[in-house]
Amino acid sequence: MTAQNSQHVNKDTSRAQEEEMEPNGGDEVAGSASVAGADRSEARQDWEARIGRRIAESGPESPVGEGAGLADESAGASLVLDAPKGLAATAGVGQITLSWEPVDGASAYLIYRSKAPDGDFKVLDHGGSDVAAVPLTRYADTGILPGAGYSYRVAAVVVPDSVAGQMSETVEITALEWKEASPDLVEESPSVEITVQADTVVARLERLWWMMGSERLAQLHFGDNGHGNIIGKEFADAIVRARSELGVSHIRSHGIFHDELGSFHRTAEGVSDYDFSGIDSVLDTFVATGVKPIIELSFMPADLAQDPTATVFDWKGIISPPADWDAWGELNERFVSHLVERFGLAEVRTWAFEVWNEANLEVFWTGTKEEYFRLYKEAAKAVKRVDGQLRVGGPATAASEWLEAFVDYVVRNDLPLDFISSHTYGNLPIHLRSLLRRYGLSDVAVWWTEWGVGSTHFGPIHDTPFGAAFVLRGLKASQEQLDALAYWVVSDHFEELGRPPRLFHNGFGLLSVGNLAKPRYWAAKLAAEFPDEVVSLTLEGDGAGSLVDGWAARSETGGLDVLVWNATPNADHFRGVPELQRKIDLLISGLAPGTYRVDVARIDEENSNICRHLPADVEWPSEQQWAALRSADQLSEQRLPDQVVTADGAESVRLTAELTMPGVLRWRLVPQ
């Protein structure tokens, strides 16, 4: 982890501090959880005390500055990348757009900013993202003051916890006074012009959201939550809804070896006893939903743990290394063999096995980095002893850490690796293709098995429309770079730090308790409905391609979807920034002659935002309020006047709309 972002970690302390300062998530967030410190569970207090700590082997921290970072000598991370060239800055209303040329071998880039006249460069952290480095070469800095002077530099990194590369040249710029660019922002927002060529296919959509995350599968057998919601049924229904509406085919979850499922025991005589009936019970229920599991091989059974008292979460997942490494390998081999026997080899080959969860964080692993690598080695070899075509991978680290060290270890020890996995919150996933190529692993898949807009349980960002634009921005940025981008998680039936204290509590779920769709869910649904043939889309104007971005795709029947979103990378602005509103001018050419029905869908504070339909002081709805919420549980759409394209193509389609920040628009054109 680079020193400059060492304070920002998965489910980080900065967000926990924000939550303590604003126990109701701020007045603007309807239904946020009230979570005074005295009411926190013992597990939650322990979590918040330890979540920011890396295990000792993650290395010493160094001062922030040019070239600062952590080099892991064991990982061959001595490669120092060239300085990015062509750094340019353009001032707009409420933002400064930076752009630069890509650097060969880089997974991401660190942006350094100094506000005149102090000259003290600091790395942008995007409002507390767990990874400071950004993968794209275009960025909108919205944390600026009107009329202030700023200086920027950029450096490339091999991976976020490697040494930063050479620094770019410095670019200096003065931020606009807002009314210098637009005399009256209320009546006239700055514009972004979008041009779509519907007859020019540029790519095929990669549906990276085929995997999502969930709470442990044991919830499938849980009953009433105390407020009339049957946990198991609603949890299963959420998975089914994600399958049918979003196209989710696989779900990853924690804790398959948790003692509540009883997989491993040692007799008084020291004999290992295996019982997979509890796992069978939840997997049978899960498989009946039509979705397949990504099985995270965690946490440690008590009878196998070096320290069975070391736990995480309210449900006490044991985070200790095994006391007997041979027994850990045998447990994994027997378990996978049992799955093959019960479900069939062809079926289990469509599943996958990920070794542990975020072992780089003290809260998830009491061992060392080297012990995690051994944990991976023993488990991965055990899986492959059952069948060489079963998929296994890792390291499932927080904040994109340990990736080069892990790849280096895998290659040096000739270990199986079907996918490399990591996690990121509040940022875009970094790009790992160049790292894998350098180690001769071009065929290894890249899976982000956790990803989300916010990093903290009950953090105030989760239920807001900011997440909708975040989702679409990430899905587009990850095309051709990732093979899976798994949003964490599907359902608010989620008990890591206790059951939901109220309906809208800013939980991680795309769906609430009761399976109401939050703004992030609607964004994922717009992506799921997006046609496969992506067509040419270009943007010009204030914040084009950095603040405002878009996607267009045509259907087999000649229709067209155009998605546009307005999203600052800075999570500090999740409640919205008026000066970042933009007028979208859309020009569509290349449509076949005919008449087109036009509908526009919106996701913003006023539209497709279920939380605004429940008073902020209501913890759990009455029957009447539930009925009103279910009636409001729909995407906000409006039919616009039909558009006619003449036979000679002279009449192009022109559409305009105001787009708030945060906000999402989807224009859909359907031939009549």
Q: Is the peptide bond before 299 cis (omega within 30 degrees of 0)?
A: yes
Strand partners, 312: 317
Residue 24's pLDDT band, with cuts at 50, 70 and 90, is very low
Lowest-confidence segment of 65-79, 110-124, 493-507, 651-665 by average pLDDT = 65-79
Residue 3's pLDDT band, with cuts at 50, 70 and 90, is very low
Residue 22's pLDDT band, with cuts at 50, 70 and 90, is very low
User: How many percent of the chain have pLDDT more than 90?
Assistant: 82
Instruction: Output the pLDDT for position 605.
Output: 96
Closest CA to 531 of 513, 557, 515, 555: 555
The mean per-residue pLDDT over the stretch 125-131 comes to 89
The mean per-residue pLDDT over the stretch 371-395 comes to 98
Count the Cβ atoms, other than its own, within 10 Å of residue 228: 11
Lowest-confidence segment of 36-50, 222-236, 599-613 by average pLDDT = 36-50
Residue 37's pLDDT band, with cuts at 50, 70 and 90, is very low
Instruction: Output the pLDDT for position 57.
Output: 53
| 607: CB partners within 8 A, 6+ apart | 636
- pLDDT tops 70 at residue 6: no
- pLDDT tops 90 at residue 8: no
**Complete DSSP assignment for 410-470:** HHHTT---SEEEEEEESSPPPP-HHHHHHTT-TTSEEEEEEEES--STT-TTTTSTHHHHH
Identity of the highest mean pLDDT range in 14-23, 184-193, 321-330, 646-655:
321-330
Q: pLDDT tens digits, residue range 178-200?
A: 865 555 544 589 999 999 999 99
Instruction: Please report where in the chains the tokens 């489910």 appear, as a residue.
Output: 11
| 491: CB partners within 8 A, 6+ apart | 214, 215, 234, 235, 238, 239, 509, 510, 511, 513, 515
Instruction: Output the pLDDT for position 40.
Output: 62
Closest CA to 489 of 464, 446, 454: 454
Instruction: Output the pLDDT for position 59.
Output: 36
Q: pLDDT tens digits, residue range 445-501?
A: 999 999 999 988 898 999 999 999 999 999 999 999 999 999 999 999 999 989 999
Instruction: Output the pLDDT for position 668.
Output: 98
Q: pLDDT tens digits, residue range 543-584?
A: 999 999 999 999 999 999 999 999 999 999 999 999 999 999
Instruction: Output the pLDDT for position 455.
Output: 83
- pLDDT tops 90 at residue 651: no
Catalogue the active-site residues.
358, 450
Lowest-confidence segment of 43-52, 61-70, 82-91 by average pLDDT = 61-70
DSSP 8-state code for residue 39 = G
Positive or negative, the CA dihedral 356, 357, 359, 360 is positive
- pLDDT tops 80 at residue 216: yes
Instruction: Output the pLDDT for position 48.
Output: 78
Q: pLDDT tens digits, residue range 592-608?
A: 999 999 999 999 999 99
Please give the Cα distance from 248 to 353 (Å, whole number). 18
Q: Torsion angle, CA of 254/260/263/266, rounded to 10 degrees?
A: 130
Strand partners, 156: 109
The mean per-residue pLDDT over the stretch 623-652 comes to 90
Q: pLDDT tens digits, residue range 234-250?
A: 999 999 999 999 999 99
The mean per-residue pLDDT over the stretch 517-524 comes to 98
Instruction: Output the pLDDT for position 187.
Output: 59
Instruction: Output the pLDDT for position 294.
Output: 98
Residue 17's pLDDT band, with cuts at 50, 70 and 90, is very low
Q: How many residues does the chain have?
A: 672
Instruction: Output the pLDDT for position 119.
Output: 78
Three-class secondary structure of residue 408 per DSSP: helix
The mean per-residue pLDDT over the stretch 38-42 comes to 61
Q: pLDDT tens digits, residue range 264-297?
A: 999 988 889 999 999 999 999 999 999 999 999 9
Average pLDDT, the chain: 89
Instruction: Output the pLDDT for position 506.
Output: 94
Instruction: Output the pLDDT for position 44.
Output: 79
Q: Is the peptide bond before 395 cis (omega within 30 degrees of 0)?
A: yes
CA 653 remoteness from chain centre: 35
